[in-house]
Structure 1
Amino acid sequence: MSSVVTKFFDYGQEEIDYLRSVDPVLGAAMARMGRVERVIIPDLFTALIYAIVGQLISVKAVRTIWNRMLNHFGDITPQQLALHTADEIQSCGMTMKKALCIHEISNLVAQGYFKLEELPGLSDQEVIQKLMTLKGIGKWTAEMMLIHSMERRDVVSWGDIAIRRGMMKLYGLDKLTKDQFEQFRLNYTPLGSVASIYLWEISFE
């Protein structure tokens, strides 16, 4: 993700201790794993484009496409991407559907029709609703934005297969119902995002 400003999701011992106290099973896993870092992209536009590129493909594939985009376009800004055609965007290795979405969103932001700078003032639910008005942005992508750009503290996404897989592995479940998921999610509140960071890691162990 070179030439894009990144940082780690901000959490500390206080958050770890809280989750251990409300969920000893998760707490034991956290103690075993030590601190898990999660890279985030503070710039909302860059993070949104990265999230679209990453829909339904592997982490390795995302990195390849992202590096091609950086080489081709330089900075990932609305103004820069709006100057280029969807064909040029697609040539970096993504589907035409994604390229068209990226092109449209870049134009909307560049021309001021969609104001990303308004998002920080909104609640999690309002951010999700506003982002879902954009073509190609579903609930999962919006939730990933909340964690991976805005560092919102309490997001556990039912739509994320890896998070569900992490829960099943952690609690020794053969299947996971929506009700079970909701019970775990409510238990983690108000620090669901930190729990998510560990659940992702557990799912890939």
Structure 2
Amino acid sequence: MFSQFNRDNYHQLCDRLAAQDADLYAIIRQYGYPPFWSRPNTFESLVHIILEQQVSLASALATLNKLKEKIQEITPARVMLLTDEELKACYFSRQKTVYIRHLAENILNGNLSLEELELMPDEHIRQKLTSIKGIGNWTVDIYLIFIVHHGDVFPIGDLAAVNALKKVKNIPLATREEVLAIARQWKPNQTIATMLLWHFYLESRKK
């Protein structure tokens, strides 16, 4: 069975990690608890994550908002009615246009049910989502963390999380394997540790 976290046990899980890792404790002591980042389990949320691939969060949000302005409600059926030119006018790259269409088609033809994903363990969700063009491991990790709140995910493809870990642990030259080895020490709460690392990354940049 997979572990999940929620608003009720979030701070308790942060405290549990802080008790076993002085570096994570230092993040809470300096910056407080991280926000409870969460998104609904909708087509729009998955579109948002795909838009966030390899661009700034602000840029992805601008594209999402432009699309919302165009079609009001972001649904598979409404997206499929748009031409490539209309999506381009909403700041979609050619690549992201292909990805969003594939996702919409898979939901419309019944190949992907977001409701069913809520009941699946990590590896089954990963298998199901990565079979869709344009969805890789990073996108799945963000879905697992933000949307279905699975508790033991470390997104090794996320630069902010990895760079924060290297800084917090003072290991700037750590390899991928070394980073994963440290993250495994936070099992079964790697997601909560990731939230703390993101919190550190965002707050420390404000200085």
Alignment-derived partner of residue 5 in structure 1? none
1:1-205 maps to which residues of 2 (within 5 A)? 10=7, 11-204=9-202, 205=204
Deviation at 1:171, TM superposition (A): 0.9
Equivalent pair of 1:87/1:99 in contact (CA under 8 Å): no
Equivalent pair of 2:112/2:128 in contact (CA under 8 Å): no
1:41-91 residue CA offsets vs partner (Å, 9 max, x unmatched): 122322211011111111111121111011001111112212223332232
Instruction: Give the TM-score taking structure 1 as reference length.
Output: 0.89
Query: d(CA) in 2 for partners of 1:197 and 1:114?
Result: 28
Query: d(CA) in 1 for partners of 2:101 and 2:84?
Result: 6
Equivalent pair of 1:85/1:103 in contact (CA under 8 Å): no
The structure with higher relative contact order (CA 8 Å, sep 6+) is: 2
Q: Percent identity?
A: 25
Query: d(CA) in 2 for partners of 1:57 and 1:29?
Result: 26
Deviation at 1:162, TM superposition (A): 0.7
**Coordinate RMSD, CA, aligned:** 1.6
- Paired letter, 1:87: E
Deviation at 1:140, TM superposition (A): 0.6
Q: Single out whichever of 87-96 and 9-18 deviates more from structure 2.
A: 9-18
Query: d(CA) in 1 for partners of 2:43 and 2:187?
Result: 28
Q: Unaligned regions of 5+ residues in structure 1, if any?
A: 1-8
- Paired letter, 2:163: R
- Paired letter, 1:189: K
Instruction: Give the TM-score taking structure 2 as reference length.
Output: 0.88
Equivalent pair of 2:99/2:134 in contact (CA under 8 Å): yes
Q: Single out whichever of 60-69 and 175-184 deviates more from structure 2.
A: 175-184
